[in-house]
Homo-oligomer: A and B are copies of this chain.
Amino acid sequence: MKKLMNDPEQIVTGFLEGLVAANREQLQRLEDTDVITRRVLKPQKVGIVSGGGSGHEPAHAGYVGAGMLDAAVAGEVFTSPGADQFLSAIQAVDQGEGVLLLVKNYNGDVMNVEMAQEMAEAEGISTEMVIINDDVAVSDVKQRRGIAGTVLVQKITGALAETGASLKEVKRVAEKTVNQTRSMSVALTPCTLPAVGQPSFDLADEEMEVGIGIHGERGVDRREVVTSEEIAKLLLDHILEEIPEQMPLALLVNGMGSTPLIEQYVLANDTIKQLEKKDRDVQHAFVGEYMTSLDMAGISLTLLALDEELSGYLQAPVQTVQWKQ
C-alpha cells in the first residue's frame, strides 16, 4: 500500500485541515471536532447537515457552501462520527429555523444522528432526518445503502433551503428526491484502508465486483470484466427497473476514487447513448468523483427522475469547494 499520507490514523485530520487551509474564506472547522461549516451562514435559513464515515471525499465536506450544505461531519475512515459531533454541527448551524440531517442509510450513522437529535431536542432545537438509500444492488429495500445519489439529494435540498423554505418543506423535497433516486456500482479493484494496509477484498486480474457499496464491502456478484458498454447496460438494466418511464432524468457518473476521468467519460458516453436509445431524456449529466471509496477503481451510475421542481433546484447556483455552478 502506497498512499500520500503521514500517520494513517491522522489521514482524516490531514484532509480536513488541508481542505480548510486551501479554502479559508469559505470554510472553517469547529474547534475540537471534525465538523466543517460555512464560514458565514446565511441568516434565517434551515440548516442542512450531512456526514458519515470518511473515505468518500469530496463527500461531505467538499459540499459545504452556498446552495448546498451548512455543515459536514466527518468520522474516522468508514466509521460513523459519534452523536456528539452531529450535535456540534446542529448547534453550529441552527438559526432558530431548525436543522435537516441528510443521512446515508447505515445503521451507525442513523443511530448517531438519532442520538444527536434527541440531545438537540433537549436544547430546544428542532431537527429532522432524511435517510438516503439509493443503492438498488441490495434487494431488501430496508437494508439499501446510501451511495452516490446522496449528493443529488444534498444539492437539491441545499438549493431549496437557500430560498428560505421551512424545515417541513425542505424535508418534503429531500424525501421526494430520495424516492426518485437510484444508483448501482461496479468495482474493478478493492480499496485499502489506510490503517489496515490490506485490500478490503481480493479480486483477480480479470474480475470485477458488481453491486459494491462504498465501504469496501464485497458486492452481490463477481464476474469477468466486460466493456464499458456492457457495464453501462448491466447497471442501467437494474436501475431503470425502478425509475418511472417518461420522466426526464439527471445522470450522475461517479468515479470511485482511482478511476481516471477519461474512463469516467467513456462510461458516461455509453450510458447516455443507451439512455437515448431508450428514448429517455437526459436533462443533466454530471461526471466526476462525487462519492468515493478511498482508492477503489470503479464507477457508480445514478439516475434521478426529474420533475420541474427537482430540475429547478438541481440547476440552481451552488458555490462549494467541489461543486460550483
A interface, CB within 8 angstroms of B: 2-6, 11-12, 14-15, 17-19, 21-23, 54-55, 57-58, 62, 188-189, 205-206, 208, 225, 227-229, 231, 251, 253, 257-270, 272-273, 285-287, 289, 292, 294-295, 297, 299, 324-325
Select which of B14, B231, B272, B295 is within 8 A of A269 by beta carbon. Answer: B14
Complex interface: chain B residues within 8 A of A263 (CB): 3-5, 11
| Chain B positions within 8 Å of A299 at CB level | 4
Q: Looking at A2, A253, A257, which has the most chain B CB atoms within 10 Å of its CB?
A: A2
Closest chain B residue to A267 by CB distance? B4
Q: Which of B14, B267, B292 contacts A266 (CB 8 A)?
A: B14
Q: Which residue of B lies closest to A230 (CB)?
A: B6
A2 to B208, CA, bound (A): 9
Verify B17–A269 contact, CB threshold 8 A.
Answer: yes
**Chain B positions within 8 Å of A208 at CB level:** 2
A262 touches B11 (CB 8 A): yes
10 smallest CB-CB distances across A and B, nearest first, come from A18-B269, A258-B258, A18-B265, A14-B266, A22-B285, A4-B263, A18-B268, A57-B261, A2-B188, A57-B262
Tell me the minimal C-beta distance from A256 to chain B in angstroms.
9
Report chain B residues within 8 Å CB of A295.
Answer: 258-260, 297
Bound complex: CA of A11 vs CA of B264, how far in Å?
A: 11
Contacts of A294 in B (CB 8 A): 260, 262
Contact indicator A273/B21 (Cβ below 8 Å): yes
A325 to chain B minimum Cβ distance, whole angstroms, is 6
Question: Do A18 and B287 form a contact, CB below 8 Å, given A5-B228, A6-B270?
Answer: yes
Bound CA span A304–B189, Å: 36
Q: How far is the CA of A14 from the CA of B269 in the complex (A)?
A: 6
A264, B18: Cα distance in complex, Å: 9
In the bound assembly, the distance between CA atoms of A225 and B262 in angstroms comes to 27
Partner pick for A270 among B14, B259, B260, CB 8 A cutoff:
B14
Could you tell me the distance in whole angstroms from the C-beta of A128 to the nearest C-beta in chain B? 30
Which residues of chain B are within 8 angstroms of A270 by Cβ–Cβ distance? 6, 14, 18
**A54 to chain B: which residues have CB within 8 Å?**
262
* Nearest CB on B from A193, distance (A): 12
Q: A45 to chain B: closest CB distance in Å?
A: 23
Taken together as a complex, chains A and B put the C-alpha atoms of A130 and B183 apart, in Å, by 45
Q: Which residue of B lies closest to A289 (CB)?
A: B261
Closest B-chain residue to A12, C-beta based? B262
Shortest C-beta distance, A251 to chain B (Å), equals 8
Is A259 a contact of B17 with CB atoms below 8 Å? no
CB distance from A219 to the nearest CB of B (A): 15
